[in-house]
Amino acid sequence: MSETMPIPLLITLDDYTPVLGEPEVAELRTLAARLQMRTVQMVNSTAMGGGVAEMLNRLIPILQELGLAIRWEVITGGNDFYEITKAFHNALHGGPYTMPPESFDTFLAYNEQNLLRLQMEAEFIVIHDPQPVALIRTRRDRSGHWIWRCHIDLSRPNPAVWGFLEPWVNRYDGAIFSSAEFARHLPVPQYLFYPSIDPLSEKNRELEPELVRSTLERFGIDPQRTILTQISRFDRLKDPLGVVRAFQIVKRYFDCQLVLAGGGASDDPEGEAVLSEVREAVGNDPDVHLLNLPPWSATEINALQRGSTIIIQKSLREGFGLTVTEGLWKGKPVVASAVGGIPLQIIHKHTGLLAHSVEGTAYQIRFLLSNPAIAERLGEQGRAYVREHFLITSSAKRYLTLFLHLSGGR
Amino acid sequence: MKKAEQPFHFMTVSYLTRIANEMATTLAQLKQGLETCSDTSIFYHTFQTLSHHHFLTQGFSNDFAQWVLAGCNRPELAEHLASLDIRDYLSLAELRADLQRLVSDYCEQYPHEAEQSAFEPFFFYEAIGVEVPLQMEAWTLQEFRDGLEKLSHAAFHFHFIASRLRLHLRTNDFSYWLESALDLGKLARQVNRIDIYTNTLGSALDRIISLVEKELHS
């Protein structure tokens, strides 16, 4: 059943000082001073794979080093549980819900089973996403501070599934969303916590220019010429065909190459179909590089982003859009669609450029290629914006502040 | 070196952002929201946003102006809203009144535009601050200078920008202490004149350190 995850302690807080500066790291320690040995439990449904586990893998060691007595619990369940929660996930994004009515009972039974093993007695309990939401039934006498952290977009949920989950959510002391657009009107306080990236992770750490150059060459990309890149799964919602069309417009004016890199075409039939459509649209253009990368390609993605002239994210729908965050962090000018969480990151003409169509995307790219000084300024400001708001240390600070707020500053 | 009778206590503040369950999709709804939103919401979208976007030293002053420009494409109103300088306000009520007046006048003058849907909604947020002492104090100008160097952006914003609302004076914590505790009126005025709209928080802090060092070496 449930398991408590070992907490990795490889990177220390001091390692963030060159990125953030001494005062910002010292401030984390100051905030944490009142929370020494206060107990925290974070609960989610997977230890590996997926953005939440990736974030907890970095966040929890930081909070532990800051002196909080923090535990990470992962709930477990049978295949039927995960089929239901996968169906929940799709339905909460607005899709239909076709599971039988008794699936709700199965969901609750697995939450109950997990409670037989979990001791939910920390002062601050953060439950991530819908899978463990019903663990709050163990709460007695308003003990502890229970917070529900929702990482998904609830703006258009399937009414049946949300109608089942909402009463559980309303029993919490508060809910955290990644964007106001993703939130619901709830009777409990709702907080805004942006998702974040780790600047020291393999996907985001600084790379030697030689490694960047050799990676580009390994993929047949010419480092001396302009490179436009979109990193995304081969998924229609990421609009790779739109990217190709925008590139074809830009190419009439500028000598450039296009890199479309991402996974999802090997283990996903739809991904394979999308990749085929993109291949057909590209034809035999040698300046377009379609890279179907395996999941362990963090360094390659880092190098591709760092070697690019402009990063594109022409999604039709998007969650928060952490690939945009990654591009901004690398100081690159980013041209992206104004969807999902992207406008939270790209303040048009300040930290990047927003577009609403293929033609608009092409125009913004042409504008940046014609105005490299503006592109450089956008890149610098985008990086500064990420440093202040979208790094894992900002997430740690938000949790410290939340815990202090919930405990009345004591 | 003169020792102050009262030390300068360095503090910091960390803000939570609360989603306020209120939004605007037209200028008319913005006008309504400005009437009903909390003071912490006015603070968030004016004082705190300056900290959020402090590294943008051109063309960004507050969230309302930014949304009216980018979301509603009304540059004239956006310019008026952007021209409000938070240093002129000693209370959020005064600032709210001016924001309301500008939006209200525009809606009256252009009733058709007031009802047009924006490209994107404006979400009202609230700032919840948790103040924490930094266990650092200054009795002399040298100690003050050493303390400045250790300030985070949040701590600097707390003392230099948000302080007006606390002091109810047209000054900031640093200038107030320099003048009242060390009798350094000229330095206090120089510090208070630093333009927070054309500096980043970092560059404004560097300027203050530079002014203090100049005073130390004079």
Complex ipTM value: 0.93
Q: By C-alpha distance, which of A399, A321, A178, A153 is closest to B19?
A: A178
Q: Once rounded to an integer, what is the mean pLDDT over residues B41-51?
A: 92
Among A22, A184, A380, A388, pick the best mutation site for testing chain B contact (most B Cβ within 10 A): A388
The mean-pLDDT minimum among A202-216, A254-268, B89-103 falls in: A254-268
A395: nearest CA partner in chain B: B16
The CATH number of the domain covering residues in A209-389: 3.40.50.2000
Angle between helices B141-148 and B173-182 in degrees, nearest 10: 170
- Is residue A147 a contact partner of residue A59, using CB atoms and an 8 Å limit? no
Q: Once rounded to an integer, what is the mean pLDDT over residues B29-54?
A: 92
Record: contact A405-B128, CB cut-off 8 A: yes
Instruction: Confirm or reject contact between B127 and chain A (CB < 8 A).
Output: no
Who has greater pLDDT, A139 or A10? A139
CA distance B98 to B92: 10
Residue A313 has pLDDT above 60, yes or no: yes
Q: Which CATH number fits domain A3-196+391-406: 3.40.50.1000, 2.160.20.60, 3.40.50.2300, 3.40.50.2000?
A: 3.40.50.2000
The predicted structure's pLDDT at residue A54: 85
The predicted structure's pLDDT at residue A107: 97
Q: Is the dihedral of CA B162, B165, B171, B177 positive or negative?
A: negative
Burial bucket for residue A317 (CB in 10 Å: 0-12, 13-18, 19+): middle
Instruction: Confirm or reject contact between A398 and chain B (CB < 8 A).
Output: yes
Q: Once rounded to an integer, what is the mean pLDDT over residues B127-134?
A: 94
Residue B199 has pLDDT above 50, yes or no: yes
Domain ranges for chain A, please list them. 3-196+391-406, 209-389
Share of chain A above pLDDT 70, in %: 96
The predicted structure's pLDDT at residue B61: 82
Rounded to the nearest integer, the mean pLDDT of chain B is 93
Residue B151 has pLDDT above 80, yes or no: yes
A209-389: same fold as A3-196+391-406?
A: yes
Q: Identity (one letter) of the amino acid at B156?
A: F
A356: nearest CA partner in chain B: B119
Task: Give tens-digit pLDDT for A1-24.
Answer: 456 666 555 789 999 999 999 999
CB interface of B with A, residues 56-75, below 8 Å: 56, 59-60, 66, 70
- Is residue A324 a contact partner of residue A343, using CB atoms and an 8 Å limit? no
Most distant CA pair in chain B: distance in Å? 65
Confidence of residue B164 (pLDDT cuts 50, 70, 90): confident
Confidence of residue A141 (pLDDT cuts 50, 70, 90): confident
Q: By C-alpha distance, which of A32, A394, A320 is closest to A150?
A: A320
Number of other CB atoms surrounding residue A192 within 10 Å: 20
CA distance B191 to B206: 11
Confidence of residue A266 (pLDDT cuts 50, 70, 90): low
The predicted structure's pLDDT at residue A1: 46
The predicted structure's pLDDT at residue A78: 93
Number of other CB atoms surrounding residue A173 within 10 Å: 17
Q: Once rounded to an integer, what is the mean pLDDT over residues B143-168?
A: 93
Among B55, B60, B124, B148, pick the best mutation site for testing chain A contact (most A Cβ within 10 A): B55
Who has greater pLDDT, B197 or A312? A312
